[in-house]
């Protein structure tokens, strides 16, 4: 895939719509397009948070180990960002992310991701909004479980 094609793919992602083309070229150049087969892990809980992944095609399941086996927390599709929480918290991965079907993603190295957030406040705000939304959804699910107990 050419650099210009990668830039066009990135331009489709709401997170990157306002980013200058030259910056998107740099992001495309410094990132790696990776492919996962169904069932293949992007990363596992407890691993070092060395990269974030932007899902371009396909979908990925976010899960944790529960007392009776894996518990699916979310199913994410194109334009979803995964792996950013560990980078931002400077902590190991808090969940396992596995391709739900054949999936293509852009692997963004930790240092590149941090630099991107530092240079583009609008991207930082979009990431914070997404994290706040996830927290709210988690709170709602927890409240439902407590209410059903």
Q: How confident is the model at residue 149 (pLDDT cuts 50, 70, 90)?
A: low
| Whether pLDDT at 11 is above 90 | no
Per the structure, the count of domains in the chain is: 1
7: left (phi over 0), alpha (psi -120 to 50) or beta: alpha
Would you say residue 140 has pLDDT above 70? yes
Write the Ramachandran bin of 125: left for phi over 0, alpha for psi from -120 to 50, otherwise beta.
alpha
| Cβ-contact 73, 64 below 8 angstroms | yes
pTM for this prediction: 0.85
Residue 101 reports pLDDT greater than 90: yes
Question: Could you list the residue range(s) of the whole structural domain that residue 63 is in?
Answer: 3-148
Nearest Cα to Cα of residue 19 among 31, 11, 28, 8: 11
Which CATH number characterizes residue 17's domain? 2.60.120.10
């Amino acid at each position: 895939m050419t650099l210009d094609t990668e830039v066009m793919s990135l331009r489709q992602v709401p997170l990157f719509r306002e980013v200058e083309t030259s910056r998107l070229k740099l992001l495309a150049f410094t990132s790696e397009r990776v492919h996962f087969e169904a069932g293949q892990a992007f990363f596992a809980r407890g691993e070092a948070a060395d990269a974030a992944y932007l899902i371009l095609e396909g979908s990925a399941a976010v899960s944790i180990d529960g007392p009776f086996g894996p518990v699916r927390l979310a199913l994410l599709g194109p334009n979803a960002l995964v792996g950013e929480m560990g980078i931002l918290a400077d902590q190991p991965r808090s969940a396992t992310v596995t391709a739900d079907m054949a999936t293509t993603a852009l692997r963004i190295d930790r240092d590149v991701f941090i630099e991107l957030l530092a240079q583009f406040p609008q991207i930082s705000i979009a990431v914070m909004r997404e994290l706040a939304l996830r927290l709210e959804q988690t709170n709602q699910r927890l409240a439902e479980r407590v209410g059903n107990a």
